[in-house]
Amino acid sequence: MRICVAYTVVSQGPISDQFASRFVATFHEHPPGVECDLLVICNGGPLRTDLSLIFAPLRAQMFPRVNDEGKDITGYMDAARGPCKDYDAMLCLGESIYFTRAGWLRRLVEAWNKIGPGFYGPFGNNNVRPHLQTTAFFCPPVLLSRYPTRPNNRPSRMEFEHGQKSMWRWVAGHGMPVRCVTWDGEWESRMWRMPQNILWRGDQSNLLMMNNHAQGWENAPPETKQVWSRNADSPFR
């Protein structure tokens, strides 16, 4: 199985170097557990030299592109039609992703091998509507290539994530599996909020990786945590 990890970097981001350093450091400390290639999607053009050098130990391929209004999602779509098109699977990761335990990619591959090609993610959330947060998702490149619309502003980018015609609903509508993957299971949509220690619950140790949303909740005061958790646990609709 050929896998490409496609990691987004905002080329002119004010703290992109901090995000990138943490991503690379935790990638080394907690390796993926299966072979993969790393593609750095450079939203906003080529990375400056010091930022690019952060990825040298991982032998990353750079994919510079103009940062359009689709942001990270259109970056993944362009990569799916370009440098990732011949891979079996892409793991699309936003800039804030980092790792706390080894084997995160192996765990996704285990779910894929058990259930079949589809749409997988570690961050299940019922806030707004049920969805898998698109700061991290795992799917065949061809699905991104065939998704019927291309986000061109923030509302359409969010439609991709949690709208009525979101990516996960579109994949499920074609009869393919959609799962939230934790260390202890693969969960269908109506069970995304069932496991313990998931996004915005407990110590979040069941998450395969961390992102800005998980870290923000971890650092929030108790009253904020309660609101976020309550919203995430909203009834499925």
% the chain with pLDDT above 70 = 99
**pLDDT tens, 186-205?**
999 999 999 999 999 999 99
Q: What pLDDT, on the 0 to 100 scale, is given for residue 70?
A: 74
Q: Classify residue 59 by its DSSP letter.
A: T
Spacing of C-alpha 188 from chain mean position:
17
Residue of 17, 109, 6 whose CA lies nearest to 60: 6
Coil, strand or helix at 14: coil
Mean pLDDT calculated for residue range 165-187: 97
Starting at the edge strand that comes first in sequence, how are the strands of the sheet with 136-139 ordered?
Answer: 61-65, 37-43, 3-10, 89-93, 136-139, 119-121, 178-182, 185-187
Q: What pLDDT, on the 0 to 100 scale, is given for residue 80?
A: 98
Q: What pLDDT, on the 0 to 100 scale, is given for residue 237?
A: 58
Mean pLDDT calculated for residue range 4-9: 98
184: pLDDT strictly greater than 90? yes
Tell if the pTM clears 0.85, that is, is over it. yes
**pLDDT tens, 23-38?**
999 999 999 999 999 9
Mean pLDDT calculated for residue range 170-193: 96
Q: What is the mean pLDDT of the chain?
A: 95
Q: What pLDDT, on the 0 to 100 scale, is given for residue 220?
A: 95
Q: Residue 225's pLDDT band (boundaries 50, 70, 90)? A: very high
97: pLDDT strictly greater than 70? yes
**pLDDT tens, 44-96?**
999 999 999 999 999 999 999 987 787 899 999 999 999 999 999 999 999 99
Q: How far apart are CA 127 and CA 75, in angstroms?
A: 25
**pLDDT tens, 142-154?**
999 999 999 988 8
